[in-house]
Amino acid sequence: MTRLQPLPLQELRLLGEGRTWPVDQAIAGLASLTPVRGRVRALHHGTVLEVEGTAETIITLCCDRCLQTYNHALAATARELLEIAVAGPEEEEVLFAAEDPVECLDPGSSFDPERWLFEQLSLQLPLVNRCGPDCPGPPLPTGDADGNGDVDPRWAALRSLR
C-alpha cells in the first residue's frame, strides 16, 4: 500500500469523483502501537473541499492519576468542509447550508490527507488520561503528620522547604 501523499488541489479538482485514500500506516507525529487504519475521501466542489474519513489505532498513554501506562483505542470519524479561496471571477461559489467551512485553503496549495488524519485523531485524545474505573490512584504515604516514615516522592520538593 502506498503512503499518503499530499495532492495538489488543482489535480483534485480534475477528478470528478474526488479521491479516496485507503489508510494502513503510521502517521507522522502520532506515536501509535498499531498502524492507523481507515480511509480518507476528498471531493473538490469549486470553492469548497469536502473531506470525510474514518481512522482507528491504538496508542499508549500515561494515567494522570496513578502514572502507569496503558493502551487506549483511538478512533475518529469526521466530515469537514474546507474553503478554497476564490481564484477569479469565473469560479462559481458552492453553498452548503448544513455547515460552514472552517479553514481556508489557497487554490494553489495541496491537500495533505496524512496531516488531516493526524488532526482528526488528535482531537479525539482524552483531556484526562485515566487507566480505568479501578485506577488505584497514587500510592498513599505511610508516614505520620510529622513527616516520619515513607513519603510520596512527589512531595519531596515541598518537604525540602521545611
In this structure, is residue 106 part of a structural domain?
Answer: yes
Alpha helices per DSSP H over the chain: 9-14, 113-122, 156-159
23/38 Cα distance (integer angstroms) = 5
* pLDDT mean over 101-105: 64
Domain range enclosing 72: 7-159
8/155 Cα distance (integer angstroms) = 54
Phi, psi (degrees; rounded to nearest 5) at 76: -140, 140
User: Could you tell me the pLDDT band of residue 97, with boundaries at 50, 70 and 90?
Assistant: very low
In this structure, is residue 1 part of a structural domain?
Answer: no
- Give me the number of domains the chain comprises: 1
In this structure, is residue 56 part of a structural domain?
Answer: yes
Percent of the chain clearing pLDDT 70 (strictly above) = 77
pLDDT at 141: 59
pLDDT at 101: 47
CB 22 within 8 A of CB 40: no
Per-residue pLDDT tens over the stretch 120-147: 999 999 999 999 888 887 766 565 555 5
In this structure, is residue 2 part of a structural domain?
Answer: no
